[in-house]
């Protein structure tokens, strides 16, 4: 009787390996979970793109749910999301821009070309604030609640389906709490 | 052929000299700590390269940050704690032993044990038959 059980062992092992690889190979290592979720924004003082004398601080972002979008003029994928960003801004979403490792001139030129959906754009020329945020590429979009806690991070271009499935439910939940 | 080898060798040597002049340290210990740390840390953009090999912008920024921290006398564990709090355990090539990684660490021993069990069982059975 025990012999019959043993003949099934290879099949069981095979199924185990299939399940393992099925799960393992469907994970995308380029989409890392953010370790900053549920944590407050790091403290920063970034000069504004259009007014370098003024600085953007986390305190300015408080009071409402906002998006913080990391972009750069050298970032090809940022162009893909810009139309959707403009649409979001038109619909009333407040978006702040973090210009990541860019220079002032080309950033302004880029915004003129592709449109400016941002309430304010701050410059992180050396990527220091980005390191504090755990940013590893552009574009990335953070959802920040009204007290400045990071609630969600999306890596890659934002589009309507990501917005619907990942952002809208979280924003609803946040507004429900308030 | 020999000339090519010399050229290759001199190129290899020149890059290591170049790396040292880019990040000068006061003490040999700090230099060793810096080089050792960079080998432990993964570049998050080109994910199978460490911070020494990678030319990505982020890798350069992180190299500069690690350089500053090492110079200011921070320990390995302080630097690693900061980086994992920002980027997660993925930045380390050697993941720490945790509940989720225990299978990863114990897996080889577990499989060896299972193999041994099968081996022992089949030996036992064959002896029984004889």
Q: Give the tens place of pLDDT for each residue, A117-173.
A: 999 999 999 999 999 999 988 899 999 999 999 999 999 999 999 999 999 999 999
Parallel, antiparallel or unpaired: strands A120-124 and A95-100: parallel
* All domains in chain A, ordered by first residue: 31-177 (3.40.30.10)
Element (H, E) at B20: helix B2-22
pLDDT score for A50? 94
Residues 93-122 of B with CB under 8 A from A: 118, 121
Whole-angstrom distance, CA of residue B42 vs CA of residue B92: 6
Whole-angstrom distance, CA of residue B61 vs CA of residue B29: 22
What's the CA angle centered on B19, arms B65 and A32, to 5 degrees?
45
Residue ranges covered by each domain of chain B: 2-96, 98-130
For residue A46, report the phi and psi dihedrals to the nearest 5 degrees: -110, 135
User: Do residues A12 and A19 lie in contact, with contact meaning Cβ atoms separated by under 8 Å?
Assistant: no
User: Quick one: pLDDT band at residue B126, thresholds 50, 70, 90?
Assistant: confident
User: Do residues B53 and B10 lie in contact, with contact meaning Cβ atoms separated by under 8 Å?
Assistant: no
CA A133 and chain centroid, separation: 10
Place of tokens 């390996």: A17
CA A37 and chain centroid, separation: 11
Considering only A71-75, B15-19, B29-33, B48-52, which range has the smallest mean pLDDT? B15-19
User: Quick one: pLDDT band at residue A27, thresholds 50, 70, 90?
Assistant: confident
| CB-based contacts of A178, cutoff 8 Å, min separation 6 | A146
User: Quick one: pLDDT band at residue B12, thresholds 50, 70, 90?
Assistant: low
Tens of pLDDT along B50-94? 898 888 889 999 999 999 999 999 999 999 999 999 998 889 998
pTM: 0.79
CB contact under 8 A, B65 and A35: no
Provide the token pair at A61.
């972002």
Whole-angstrom distance, CA of residue A70 vs CA of residue A131: 12
Provide the token pair at A103.
């220079």
**What distance in Å separates residue B72's CA from the closest CA in chain A?**
17
pLDDT score for B20? 60
Q: Each residue of A18-34: b (16+ CB within 10 Å) or e?
A: eeeeeeeeeeeeeebeb
The CATH class, in words, for B2-96 is mainly alpha
Question: Which residues does chain B have within 8 Å of residue A101's beta carbon, measured at their own beta carbons?
Answer: 57, 61
A35, A126, A136: residue with CB nearest B85: A35
**What distance in Å separates residue A166's CA from the closest CA in chain B?**
21
User: Do residues A33 and B88 lie in contact, with contact meaning Cβ atoms separated by under 8 Å?
Assistant: yes
Q: Which of A46, A147, A62 lies closest to A98 in space, CA to CA?
A: A46
Q: Using DSSP, state whether B76 is helix, strand or coil.
A: helix
pLDDT score for B128? 66
Q: Which residues pair with A47 in a beta bridge?
A: A55
Does residue B109 have a pLDDT over 80?
Answer: yes
pLDDT score for A14? 94
Whole-angstrom distance, CA of residue B98 vs CA of residue B110: 17
Q: Using DSSP, state whether B99 is helix, strand or coil.
A: coil
CB contact under 8 A, B61 and A132: no
């Amino acid at each position: 009787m025990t012999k019959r059980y043993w003949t099934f062992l290879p099949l069981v092992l095979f199924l185990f390996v299939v399940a393992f690889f099925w799960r393992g190979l469907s994970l995308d290592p380029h989409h890392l979970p953010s370790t900053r979720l549920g944590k407050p924004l790091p403290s920063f003082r970034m000069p504004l793109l259009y007014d370098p004398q003024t600085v953007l601080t986390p305190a300015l972002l408080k009071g409402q749910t906002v998006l913080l979008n990391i972009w750069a003029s050298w970032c090809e994928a940022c162009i893909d999301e810009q139309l959707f960003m403009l649409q979001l801004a038109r619909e009333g979403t407040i978006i702040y821009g973090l210009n990541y490792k860019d220079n002032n001139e080309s950033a302004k030129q880029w915004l003129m070309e592709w449109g400016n959906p941002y309430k304010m754009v701050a410059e992180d020329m050396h990527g220091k604030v980005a390191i504090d945020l755990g940013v590893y590429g552009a574009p990335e979009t953070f959802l920040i609640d009204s007290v400045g806690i990071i609630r969600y991070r999306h890596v890659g271009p934002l589009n309507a389906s990501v917005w619907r499935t990942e952002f809208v439910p979280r924003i609803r939940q946040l507004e429900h709490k308030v | 052929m020999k000339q090519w080898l010399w050229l290759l060798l001199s190129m290899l040597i020149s890059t290591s000299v170049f790396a040292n002049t880019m990040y000068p340290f006061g003490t040999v210990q700090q230099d060793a700590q810096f080089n050792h740390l960079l080998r432990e840390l993964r570049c998050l953009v080109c994910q199978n390269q460490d911070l020494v090999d990678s030319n990505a912008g982020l890798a350069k920024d992180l190299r500069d940050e690690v350089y500053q921290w090492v110079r200011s006398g921070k320990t390995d564990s302080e630097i690693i704690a900061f980086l994992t709090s920002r980027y997660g355990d993925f930045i380390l090539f050697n993941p720490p032993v945790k509940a989720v990684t225990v299978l990863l660490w114990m897996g080889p021993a577990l499989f060896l044990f299972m193999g041994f069990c099968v081996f022992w069982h089949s030996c036992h059975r064959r002896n029984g038959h004889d």
